[in-house]
Structure 1
Amino acid sequence: MSSGTYGSDEVGALVIDIGSHTFRAGYAGEETPKFDFPSYIGVIDEQQQSPASSSTVQDGSGDTSQQPPPPPPPSQPQKRYIFDMNKIRVPQNGLYMQTFLKEQMIDDWDLFEQAMTNAFDCLCEKDHGSSYHPIVMSEPPINQRAKREKLCEIMFEKFQIPAFYLAKNAVLSSFAQAKATALILDCGATHTTAVPVHEGMVFQKAIVQSPLGGDFILNQCKQLLDGLNYEIVPHYLIKSKEVVRQYEQPKWTKRTNLPENITDSYKKFMTKEILQDFAQTVLQISDTPYNESEISQLPRVNYEFPNGLSLDFGEERYRIPEGLFNPSIVKGQFSSILDLVHLITNSVNMCDPDIRSALYGSITIVGGNSYFLGFTERLHRELSHILPQTMRMKVQIPPSLSERRFSSWIGGSILASLGSFHQMWISKQEYDESGKFIVDRKCP
């Protein structure tokens, strides 16, 4: 193997895409990831008792006698990790949910290593393992140099991979749409981010970020249901339920064999799963700025909760996602936050004038929080109202929700499959020669 290249024809590369909501992993060259794990991992602290041994003492006559064993040493905590959502949905005593991410960046490295070990166990053949597979991994557009270097070090030292490449998720999303230049609007769980990509490179100084992401929407849904005095009952609490009429009080039976210690983080995680289904089923973007009198004339949508409660929702289903386009409609501290339209225009205006038209001509929407019906049409309409008529503007969105959710993974799959990509890998030889700092040079 020559320095500076890695020939990986004999063993396929793996693609890892880490998001705030899920962790996607699969084989390069395939259309979708093989696994889509939650970025929150189930953890159970288990106590492991060190074995106590008896002691023998000798008296002055040379006789020995058996003495009572000393007090047992303190028990050592052992963690058991659960990644499978089907297993997580079964409540266990002391099970709590934990993520290795903070502000979109890896923060808990021990937990991250557990997640990677699980991914390799699922993806790699038993007689191979991570040491046979080069890895392409996505990273957020804003990442710390020290974290990038530590990640590179862990992949080579801990997992013994033969080659590595770290790519900005926005760049990978643009590649997924066969574009080298695009304005990527990434609608994620914790944030919505406008990222200008030009000729495969991110303009770092023009990245604009907003907290108006999927979690913001779910919090608004929770506040709505709280205002209706409806307490969300997670699936794991329900033993049975009866069919009731619309707006009737639900008739359900609570399980009696529940674990003694159901943690708050577990309750919150399972409640969030219901809120996600509620939001995807009920919410919709209005064609025009929210007007309650007009919205009230539109059809209502029914939703049945896990315990059988059946409710209709009208103007609420439009008012909640309206906050993405008009944050001032939301009570609290959101009035000063940029809406999605100005997120885009502010980002483009911070770029060189020569490339602004190319960015406006290729606005690409990705991310799981772009699932709302009417999202693309409303964004296009709002942008056309504030941009000059001479500006050619195009808003495009991958046709399916899975393509939007997996856009950066798909881009990584395409990139790692290109024959010309082999020269871009950080090989094990290069890492051994230059250390972890090589990631800053080869993966800008």
Structure 2
Amino acid sequence: MYGGDEVSAIVLDVGYTSCKAGFAGEDNPKAVFPTAVGVVRSGKDGVVGKGPAAPGEKMDVDPPAAGAPAAAAAAAGTTAGTEEVKYNIGTQALSIRKDFMDIENPIQDGLIKDWDLAQKLWDHAFKDRLRIVPEEHPMLLAEPSFNSNECREKLLEIMFEHYKVPAVFISKNAVLSSFSCGRSTAVVLDSGGGATCVAPVHEGYVLQKAIVRSPFSGEKLTEYLLSVLEGKGTNVRPPYMLNKKIGKDGTIASVTEITGLENIRPSFKRYMQKTIINDLKETVCRTSETVFDESSNAQIPFAQYELPDGKVIDVGAERFKACEIMFNPSALEADKCSIFGVNSPSELQALHDCINESVGKCDSDIKKDLYGTVIVTGGNTLFPMFKERLERELAESISLLKVKTISPMATTERRFSVWIGGSILASLGSFQQMWISKKQWSEEGVRIVHSQCP
């Protein structure tokens, strides 16, 4: 048990798209910044990326590793002890063009894979955004509902041994989203940038056996939309590639491509292209109220979107297709299946079918309560009419039970529902006995996370 309540707890939610950090008891996270990190590695030739860090952003520099084993250094393409790594963190830092900068993400398939990169993000959150000393604040950490035991143990180990925090609690995303909506029993559809997951929650606990995952994440939908537009001949050129001249009337008079970009990494170009398409997706895409048939909607009005080079494109059926495939996977083109990691559309499951499968794995006496509280959360559910379409599809597939979907009305609340739930939980007086203290950690080791944070 942790008895210290004189300082605010810190709530951390690291997702594939963004990191959210702030103080327990507040309405919204104090810091929100991209999870992607710009990494510049210098070799024996001393080449590091050009361009300074943006004001207010972070460029961490790891000094050369003195005495590094020669074999390991050779494998990395450098001589021993000469590699220097620069980390660019934050929206502004990532948007500035730098030679040899790769865009890397510590999260893959919804789980943390690169712990060194994750620590850079936490360092940035603590030191540069929240400006706190980790040793003085208990930490509530959000984790994916399907997180592995190894990841949970590693997370606890880093917090106590590296950051030396006084207490830690790890809570599952689905539970926190339920708390943010004032529910203790619900089935939670959490669709974010890197993962989509359906998890039933009963009396504040996730039913692990009934978790169902889906490849329909925001990142995959962005890749799909970019692929469709490129297939139609649209050239998405990021701003860093362009030299624009503005006329007297304020419009773009001419656009030329900047030369000498041979040292720009493909991952950086793709990241910047996806940033543009993600904005297009959030601006013009919407969910069809009923099953969308492209042939019968050939006369659908176009939505216009201006690209950074000033070209205005007409987005027709594509603005519905990106959402439609989540409810009707058969609408996915066969040549686009690889984006979602399958060979044919028949291998994909609609979101409402994922919910039905998840609830079907639960005990029959709680199914009515679960269908009565279907919580919709995550940035990938913000398309207009998404909630209404989901409720309609569920009602048609489950005729004997009443279905009710719940989603925060405000965009911010739906996007940050996991963090908000953590803020509520960590500020409750009754929760203080749930913390894992440093003393408990030293006595029982990493295994305590499984009994204390189920």
> Scaled by the length of structure 2, what TM-score is found?
0.86
- The answer to whether the aligner puts 1:99 opposite 2:105 as a matched pair is yes
- Mark the CA change 1:306 to 1:416 in structure 2 (over 3 Å): closer, same or farther: same
* Contact 1:239/1:255, CA 8 A, preserved across alignment: yes
* Equivalent residue number for residue 169 of structure 2: 165
Residues 326-353 of structure 1: CA deviation (Å, up to 9, x unaligned): 1111123232211011011111111000
Alpha-carbon shift at residue 151 of structure 1 (Å) = 1.1
**Residue of structure 2 aligned with 1:24, choices 20, 23, 26:** 20
* Equivalent residue number for residue 423 of structure 1: 433
* Contact 2:19/2:32, CA 8 A, preserved across alignment: yes
Residues 122-167 of structure 1: CA deviation (Å, up to 9, x unaligned): 3454xx5100010000111112212211110110000000000000
Distance 1:334 1:233 in 2: 30
Residues 78-121 of structure 1: CA deviation (Å, up to 9, x unaligned): 21111121121011111111111122111111111111111110
* Contact 2:225/2:318, CA 8 A, preserved across alignment: no
* Equivalent residue number for residue 255 of structure 1: 258
* Equivalent residue number for residue 34 of structure 1: 30
Alpha-carbon shift at residue 408 of structure 1 (Å) = 0.5
* Equivalent residue number for residue 305 of structure 1: 307
* Equivalent residue number for residue 130 of structure 1: 134
Distance 1:268 1:140 in 2: 26
* Equivalent residue number for residue 264 of structure 1: 266
**Residue of structure 2 aligned with 1:352, choices 339, 363, 366:** 363
**Residue of structure 2 aligned with 1:15, choices 11, 30, 42:** 11
**Residue of structure 2 aligned with 1:81, choices 80, 87, 90:** 87
Alpha-carbon shift at residue 432 of structure 1 (Å) = 1.2
Amino acid at match of 2:453: C
Q: Which runs of 5+ in 2 are unaligned?
A: 47-63, 65-78, 335-343
* Equivalent residue number for residue 111 of structure 1: 117
Residues 21-62 of structure 1: CA deviation (Å, up to 9, x unaligned): 111111111111111121111111135888xxxxxxxxxxxx
Amino acid at match of 2:258: R
**Residue of structure 1 aligned with 2:395, choices 374, 384, 398:** 384
Distance 2:405 2:245 in 1: 45
* Contact 1:92/1:259, CA 8 A, preserved across alignment: no
Amino acid at match of 2:425: L
What is the DSSP-based 3-state SS (H/G/I as helix, E as strand, rest coil) of the residue aligned with 1:76?
coil
Alpha-carbon shift at residue 7 of structure 1 (Å) = 2.5
Residues 240-271 of structure 1: CA deviation (Å, up to 9, x unaligned): 1568xxxxx99412235x65511111111111
Distance 1:437 1:382 in 2: 42
Distance 1:259 1:397 in 2: 45
Amino acid at match of 1:101: I
* Equivalent residue number for residue 217 of structure 2: 213
Distance 1:274 1:123 in 2: 26
Alpha-carbon shift at residue 191 of structure 1 (Å) = 2.6
What is the DSSP-based 3-state SS (H/G/I as helix, E as strand, rest coil) of the residue aligned with 2:38?
strand
- Mark the CA change 1:45 to 1:306 in structure 2 (over 3 Å): closer, same or farther: same
Distance 1:331 1:297 in 2: 21
* Equivalent residue number for residue 327 of structure 2: 325
- Mark the CA change 1:109 to 1:293 in structure 2 (over 3 Å): closer, same or farther: closer
* Contact 1:163/1:428, CA 8 A, preserved across alignment: yes
Residues 221-255 of structure 1: CA deviation (Å, up to 9, x unaligned): 11221122111000111221568xxxxx9941223
Alpha-carbon shift at residue 176 of structure 1 (Å) = 0.5
- Mark the CA change 1:259 to 1:291 in structure 2 (over 3 Å): closer, same or farther: closer
State the Cα RMSD in Å: 2.1
Distance 1:328 1:294 in 2: 16
What is the DSSP-based 3-state SS (H/G/I as helix, E as strand, rest coil) of the residue aligned with 1:323?
helix
Alpha-carbon shift at residue 372 of structure 1 (Å) = 0.9
Amino acid at match of 2:441: Y
**Residue of structure 1 aligned with 2:207, choices 191, 197, 203:** 203
Distance 2:431 2:96 in 1: 43
What is the DSSP-based 3-state SS (H/G/I as helix, E as strand, rest coil) of the residue aligned with 2:327?
coil
* Equivalent residue number for residue 239 of structure 1: 243
Distance 2:129 2:446 in 1: 25
- The answer to whether the aligner puts 1:399 opposite 2:413 as a matched pair is no
Alpha-carbon shift at residue 294 of structure 1 (Å) = 4.4
* Equivalent residue number for residue 154 of structure 1: 158
Amino acid at match of 2:235: E
Amino acid at match of 2:284: V
Distance 2:313 2:108 in 1: 36
- The answer to whether the aligner puts 1:334 opposite 2:345 as a matched pair is yes
Distance 1:270 1:293 in 2: 33
Distance 1:259 1:308 in 2: 21
Alpha-carbon shift at residue 410 of structure 1 (Å) = 0.5
* Contact 1:241/1:307, CA 8 A, preserved across alignment: no
Distance 1:254 1:297 in 2: 35
Distance 2:84 2:427 in 1: 40
Say which one has the larger Rg: 1
* Equivalent residue number for residue 67 of structure 2: none
| Paired residues, number | 411
* Equivalent residue number for residue 57 of structure 1: none
Superposed structure 1 runs of 4+ greater than 4 Å apart = 47-50
Distance 1:75 1:210 in 2: 43
Distance 1:313 1:271 in 2: 17
Distance 1:81 1:95 in 2: 9
> Scaled by the length of structure 1, what TM-score is found?
0.88
* Contact 1:250/1:307, CA 8 A, preserved across alignment: no
Distance 2:392 2:449 in 1: 41
Amino acid at match of 1:87: A
* Contact 1:287/1:378, CA 8 A, preserved across alignment: yes
What is the DSSP-based 3-state SS (H/G/I as helix, E as strand, rest coil) of the residue aligned with 1:131?
helix
Alpha-carbon shift at residue 293 of structure 1 (Å) = 4.7
- The answer to whether the aligner puts 1:363 opposite 2:366 as a matched pair is no
Distance 2:24 2:89 in 1: 22
Alpha-carbon shift at residue 315 of structure 1 (Å) = 2.1
What is the DSSP-based 3-state SS (H/G/I as helix, E as strand, rest coil) of the residue aligned with 1:120?
helix
